[in-house]
Chain A
Amino acid sequence: MLNRHEVFGRWLDKRIPSANRFELDHKSIFIFPSKFGALFLFLCSGLFLLGTNYQNNLMIMLCYFLVSLFLLNLFITYVNFSKLDLQLGKTHNGFVNDSIQIPIWFNQSEHKKQRPNGDLQIGFYKHANFLTLDLNDFSNPVYLALPCEARGRLELPRVTICSYYPLGLFRCWTHLKFKTSLLVYPAPISTPISLQNSSENPKGHGQREQTMGYDDFDSLTPYKKGEPLNHVAWKQLAKGQGMISKQFSTQQSNTGWLVLQKTSPEFIEKQLSHLCFQVMELSKNEQRFGLNLGTTQILPATGNEHQKACLEALAIYPQSLATIKEV
């Protein structure tokens, strides 16, 4: 048996399939009188009763005027909302306990008449926090913060957008599903760096190299082409001594492996967090390292791509990277 929400979710998937860009139309727009709309109709019926009982044509006329406004608002709200055109920006992965900023670009049509007006409420479907966006005064893109609670793949929830423009009598809304794949990395927990030369003996304490003080300044040498620019001794350059590169002691230290120790399941998450911290630190220092998670092995390398691959492997552990690529 499917519960109500699942049935509704499936129906939504059929009605508004996922895409990266949406132009709203009758298929994706829902519209219904708002609470205030109901109150407004109550006012109309009050005026009608009063007008009928007092046989007062002016009151009845006022009532019909308000009813016509109500009818017109159905169309105005809909037309205004259907002018919306939105697109998902470039998303980044995030860490547990952090939140991912989801950028959404709203249309900026050349024609003023083609632009929607009024306040919009945006938020994630079934999430409590909605932010208010004033379509007459905003700058692209609009960021929605998506909290990351657990490590692994994160499906972007449907984005709910609703508008009460122009008089708040009707609520016009939609739930949009954007095509994107997000990963949540483990939360980094600070720990000493421990690199192992796993090719020989991962467990051997004798071979373990303490890399504390890796950023100790060692010496100055003439700059060689290809060395990172942030190692250039700018002070000396400014003094007119030419391009001189700072040498750090850890630059010369051996490359090693970050290894996931075999422990009981409850410690796995903590270890992954530790590894995550080390991956971040090592990459910051542009040090070569490899990652061995047992199921996945990433050969030593440096650079952003390498860091991303390592973090992704940590995120989806115990699955292997190959499964990501399939997605």
Chain B
Amino acid sequence: MTSSINNHSHFVLTLTFLLTSLTLYTSVMAWIIILVICAVTMRLALYFQLHKHAPSIRTLNLLALLSGIVLAYFSLQLGVLLGMLNLLVMASALKLMLLRNNRDYHQLVTTVGFLIGCGFIFQQGIVFSIIYLLLMVALILSLALHYSPSKSLLQTSKDISIMGLQALPIALLLFLVMPKFDPLWQMPAAKSTETGLSEKITPGDIAKLSQSSDLVFRASFTGDIPQPQERYWRAIVLEDFDGASWQISPQRMAINNQYRQYSEEFDASGEGRVFQYEVFAEPTHQNWLYAIDVAIPDGSYSNQRIWQNHDYQLISQAPLVSTFQYKVKSYPSANLNQSLYSLDKRINLQLPPKTGNPKTQAWVDNLRSQHPDDVDFAQKILEYFENQGFSYTLKPPLMQDEPVDQFLFEAKQGFCSHYASAMAYALRLGGIPARLVTGYQGGELRSDYLSIYQYDAHAWVEAWFDETGWQRIDPTAVVAPDRIQYGLQSAVEAENFLYNSPFSLARFNSVTWLNDLRLMLNSVDYAWTKWVLGFDQEQQKDLFKSFIGELTPRKVALFAFGVFALIFTLIALFYLPLWRKPKLDKSTSYYLKAQQILGKLGIYRADSKGPIDFSSQVARATDMSISAPFERLTKLYVIHMYRPDTPIELRKHHAMMAKELSKMKAAVKALGKVEVLEQS
């Protein structure tokens, strides 16, 4: 039974638990956070002796039962991952209320440790990594205080910091050399609450995305970097239109599933100009990836993890639960005519089942009759956008009934998805296969990498022309060329850019030092993503290669052995100095040596005998040649022990003692010879 009164260990643990739960606030339900706060308040009241009695076990069991029922009620809606996390936080809160003995304490420490680890599922930035590391150190501090309660807090913190600093290099070595495994089994992904592209869009949805300055991915280029107007990052292809919104075609999904079953991966080919780059995608808990057309995964690592779809999409084999990096080669001048045309045509000429948007239909019929040529027809639609006073805005009016009609002939205001949706619909009405592609357009260039944010989200049209196959048409480029060339910020008025996130640093691009700060943070974050979060099997292999050259089993074994030897050397370095006994005083060591010599002659000093008594015992037992120097040595030793010497005296005494010692040695040797002679 341990009491919390003035128990620093419990105090630190309580605070650590509180902070850990607070960092998880986005994933933990509000009532559980309240439960946590109650438990913390209760424990702190006990610590500060504001209250004397912990709640009884019966009360806590009742509370646990009730909480369990409520959590079970919410569990379906939470999904497995968040459900487990909420359960863990709730159980810890109840344990904190209970906290009676060592066992409770240890269980609580372990669960809080695990919660800190879980925090990394949701937060992987540098700042949060440091916070979680500090929380872990605080947890260890709590343990240390538990096992040495009377040591001063300062001393304990110092010891813990030293221990942590010693553990870091070892942990780093282990991280670098321990083999990295593929996921052992599929873990439940959190239901995406993040902003991001979705698999069904209604025009206007992307305008919401433009309010977020969250990072989506970074692409680091080797060689050529695409021009701004070439930076079209394909993510999702939407081929099913119901008159208002676009989504992934169910037919396409069924066909893709079949391809998957038979492992018939689409094998795109490219020629001409090539961009080579590596993408570091932020976790989305979704599968689709980003790439410039025509994209082909580069290298075996990326090929194993990426599936190519027949609509030129790259799909990750596993949901992106952590930072995922992959290498891609993009051929911007290659034609997108490599997929099965008959299928694409069938899907992409479908019109909404119920006829609507009559004005649009009439307009298209008219236009198509004037321009039988496909390219010409598409060109005329773009010209309509260009010449009829259309404007690009983040806040278009609501268009609910016959949305395309309203957009084309009344509002004439819209965001990229309005234009893309209207154009794709018009093309389909005109008998040209067309579809909507969503993804990102643009990116902020810094040295050799591009950072792409949510506000770069974009939608454009792909239409099939017999000569070239799928051809990208971006009506936004006609209406707001600045959007494509310079990004969203220059295309909309300043007050509209990120108007929902007034404190986003990206809003203040015009303030030089703030922008510099933002760019610097960006580079630090990039380095972190690339070298820490993105350290994978491939990079590990490269690292090994740079150390030991070609990887043969023998070399790898030797290398592993070397690393473990290094780890043990490190530990030995940390602790060997402590093992050494305090160094003996020089006079004492001389005296002990003299005793050893006498020991060879069979004369030992009893523990109870003082040095002077022993000296007279030696005088009685041995020859003068030995006892005389020993007597002098003893005298010097006694003087030294009972009267502090000046440093000069001390040196003189030591020299004299050394001399006496050597005399003794010589005498013992001579004696040995005499004995041998006598025996012979």
Write the residues of chain A forming the contact surface with B, with a CB cutoff of 8 angstroms. 35-36, 39-40, 42-43, 46-47, 49-69, 71-72, 75-76, 79, 82, 111, 113-114, 117-119, 134-137, 164-168
CA distance A111 to B148 in the complex (A): 19
Assembled-state Cα–Cα distance A72/B163 (Å): 8
Q: Which of B171-206 contact A (CB under 8 A)?
A: 171-172, 174-175, 178, 180-187
Q: Decide: A43 near B114, CB < 8 A? Known: A71-B571, A75-B571, A118-B147.
A: yes
In the complex, A79→B577 CA distance in Å? Answer: 11
Q: Is the interface of B mostly helix, strand, loop or mixed?
A: helix
Contacts of A47 in B (CB 8 A): 114, 117
For A134, list chain B residues within 8 Å (CB): 148-150
B178 and A64 form a contact (CB under 8 A): yes
Closest to A73 in B: B163
* Chain B residues closer than 8 Å to A164, beta-carbon distance: 147
Q: In the complex, how many residues of chain B place their beta carbon closer than 8 angstroms to a beta carbon of chain A?
A: 60
- Is A111 a contact of B144 with CB atoms below 8 Å? no
Closest chain B CB from A166 CB (angstroms) = 5
Given contacts A49-B184, A58-B533, contact A166 B106 (CB under 8 A): no
Whether B114 and A165, one on each chain, are in contact in the complex, defined by CB atoms closer than 8 angstroms, is: no
B120→A62 contact, CB < 8 A: yes
Expressed in whole angstroms, the Cα–Cα distance for A118 and B155 within the complex equals: 12
Given known contacts A53-B183, A55-B322, is B151 in contact with A72 (CB within 8 Å)?
no
Least CB separation from B575: chain A residue: A75
Distance between Cα atoms of A62 and B129 in the complex (Å): 10
Q: Which residues of A contact B432 (CB under 8 A)?
A: none
Q: Across the interface, do B120 and A56 meet the contact criterion of CB distance under 8 Å?
A: yes
- Of all chain A residues, the one with the shortest Cβ separation from B167 is A68
Report B564 CB to chain A, min CB distance, Å: 11
Q: Give Cα A54 to B188, complex, Å.
A: 9
A119 closest partner in B (C-beta) = B147
Please give the distance in Å from A116's CB to the nearest CB on chain B.
10
In the complex, the answer to whether A166 meets B170 with C-beta atoms within 8 Å is no
A43 and B110 contacting across the interface, CB-CB below 8 Å = yes
Complex Cα spacing A72 to B568, Å: 10
Known contacts A57-B532, A57-B533, A65-B168, A166 near B324 by CB under 8 Å: no
Most chain B CB inside 10 Å of its own CB: which residue of A39, A114, A167:
A167
**A49's closest neighbor in chain B, by CB?**
B184
Q: Scoring B residues 135 to 173 as 1 if CB is less than 8 Å from chain A, else 0, what string do you get?
A: 010001001101111110000000100011011101110
- Complex alpha-carbon distance, A183 and B105, angstroms: 43
Q: Is the CB of A168 within 8 A of B147?
A: yes
Given contacts A50-B117, A56-B321, A68-B174, 14 further A-B contacts (CB under 8 A): A39-B107, A46-B117, A50-B121, A54-B322, A56-B322, A58-B120, A58-B129, A61-B171, A62-B117, A64-B178, A65-B171, A66-B136, A75-B575, A164-B147
B582 and A111: CB pair below 8 A?
A: yes
A69 to B159 alpha-carbon distance, docked (Å) = 13
Q: Which of A58, A114, A136 has the most C-beta atoms of chain B within 10 angstroms of its own C-beta?
A: A58
Interface CB pairs A-B, < 8 A, 7: A57-B532, A58-B124, A58-B132, A59-B121, A64-B175, A71-B567, A134-B148
- Asked if A54 and B148 make an inter-chain contact with CB atoms under 8 angstroms apart, the answer reads no
Query: Does the CB pair B175–A61 fall under 8 Å?
Result: yes
Contact B144 A166 (CB under 8 A): yes
B116 within 8 Å of A by Cβ?
yes
Give chain A nearest CB distance to B318 CB in angstroms.
8
**A75-B574, A168-B146 are contacts. A43–B113 as well, Cβ < 8 Å?**
yes
Least CB distance from A97 to B in Å reads 29
Sorted from nearest, which 6 A-B pairs have the closest CB atoms?
A: A68-B170, A137-B150, A118-B148, A136-B150, A68-B167, A65-B171
Cβ contact within 8 Å between B120 and A59? yes
Give A290 to B632 CA distance when docked, in angstroms: 56
B581 to chain A, nearest CB (A): 9
Q: Interface majority SS on A: helix, strand, loop or mixed? A: helix
Residues of the A chain whose Cβ atoms lie less than 8 Å from the Cβ of B321: 54-56
Q: Which of B167, B170, B178, B579 has the most CB of A within 10 A?
A: B167
Separation in Å of the B161 CB from the closest CB of chain A?
A: 12
On whether the beta carbons of B163 and A166 are closer than 8 Å, the reply is: yes
| Interchain CA distance A51-B149 in the complex, whole Å | 34
Cβ 8 A contact of B174, one of A64, A137, A166: A64
Contact A65 B121 (CB under 8 A): no
Q: Does B677 contact A (CB under 8 A)?
A: no
B606 contacts the other chain (CB 8 A):
no
Q: How far apart sit A119 and B150, CA to CA, in the bound complex (Å)?
A: 9
Query: Which residue of A has the minimal Cβ distance to B187?
Result: A53
Whether A62 contacts B174 by the Cβ 8 Å rule is: no
Q: Does B392 contact A (CB under 8 A)?
A: no
**Is residue B47 contacting chain A, with contact meaning CB distance below 8 A?**
no
Per the bound structure, the CA–CA distance linking A96 and B133 in Å amounts to 58
B178 touches A59 (CB 8 A): no
Are the C-beta atoms of A67 and B148 separated by less than 8 Å?
A: no
List chain B residues, Cβ under 8 A from A111: 582
Shortest B172–chain A CB gap in Å is 8
Residues from chain A with Cβ under 8 Å of B180 in the complex: 52, 60
| CB under 8 Å from chain A, chain B span 496-551 | 532-536
Question: Shortest Cβ distance from A140 into chain B, in angstroms?
Answer: 16
Interface residues as binary, B330-363 with A (CB distance below 8 Å gives 1, 0 otherwise): 0000000000000000000000000000000000
B578 within 8 A of A: yes
B183 adjacent to A55 (CB under 8 Å): yes
A52 proximity list for chain B (CB < 8 A): 180-184
Once the chains are docked, how many angstroms separate the CA of A58 from the CA of B119?
10
The interface centre, meaning the residue of A60, A79, A114 with most chain B CB atoms within 10 A of its CB, is A60
- Whether A65 contacts B136 by the Cβ 8 Å rule is yes
Bound state CA distance, A62 and B124, in angstroms? 12
Q: A167 with B117: in contact, given A40-B110, A71-B170, A72-B163 (CB under 8 Å)?
A: no
Whether A54 contacts B167 in the complex (CB less than 8 A), given A69-B140, A72-B574, A117-B151, comes out as: no
Contact present for B106 and A119 (CB under 8 Å) = no
Residues of A within 8 A of B121 (CB): 50, 54, 56, 59
Asked if B118 lies at the interface with its beta carbon under 8 angstroms from chain A, I say yes
Minimum CB distance partner of A78 in chain B: B575
Bound: A53/B185 CA distance, A: 6
